[in-house]
């Protein structure tokens, strides 16, 4: 088996109000390659955007069984994996799980790769984290400034699938 390089996935989510306009930002790095992604919603929450950033980043990876190092300032996301919350939620049939639609979507893509989660302190000068924050904030502000009614991130209240 040929060794594949490590993919570094940096993510951040932002919301102005909870719920309110928000967005996500992603920076993917692999060797000399770099890709940035972002998206905004009129009505969402910070935790949904933090999680969606990871999902979008993982969904962007084209080869199977990639070794991915995720760096996030979201304790919610990092602890859900590193402390086994995700496994427990799945075993209990996703009952009473907030953002269940996104966690199920995450779980599908997460299982396709070798993913390790690392927490980093937000707004502490880490270049990729700062870039992700700027992408997320700008995406949320852009959705708000355009006065869009869609995309609206349904599911923040009732956990219905998007």
Catalytic sites, residue numbers: 12-13, 50, 73, 123, 133
**What is the torsion angle, in degrees rounded to the nearest 10, for the CA atoms of residue 111, residue 133, residue 15 and residue 60?**
-30
The strand pairing partners of 118, in sequence order, are 71
| Bridge-based pairing state of the strands 33-44 and 67-72 | unpaired
- On whether the CB atoms of residues 66 and 4 are closer than 8 A, the answer is yes
> How would DSSP label each residue in 94-132?
TTT-TTHHHHHHHHHHHTTSEEEEEE--TTSS-HHHHHH
């Amino acid at each position: 088996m040929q060794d594949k390089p490590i993919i570094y996935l940096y993510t951040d989510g932002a919301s102005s109000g909870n719920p309110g306009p928000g967005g996500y930002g992603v920076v993917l790095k692999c060797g000399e390659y770099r890709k940035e992604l972002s998206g905004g919603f009129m009505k969402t929450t910070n935790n949904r955007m933090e999680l969606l950033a990871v999902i979008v980043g993982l969904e962007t990876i084209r080869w199977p069984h990639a070794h991915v190092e995720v760096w996030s300032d979201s304790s919610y996301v990092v602890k859900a994996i590193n402390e086994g919350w995700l496994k427990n939620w799945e075993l209990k049939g996703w009952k009473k799980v907030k953002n269940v639609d996104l966690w199920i979507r995450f779980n599908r893509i997460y299982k396709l790769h070798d993913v390790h989660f690392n927490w980093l302190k937000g707004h502490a000068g880490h270049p990729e984290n700062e870039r992700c924050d700027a992408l997320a904030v700008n995406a949320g502000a852009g959705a708000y400034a355009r006065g869009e009614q869609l995309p609206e991130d349904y599911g923040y209240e009732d956990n219905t699938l998007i």
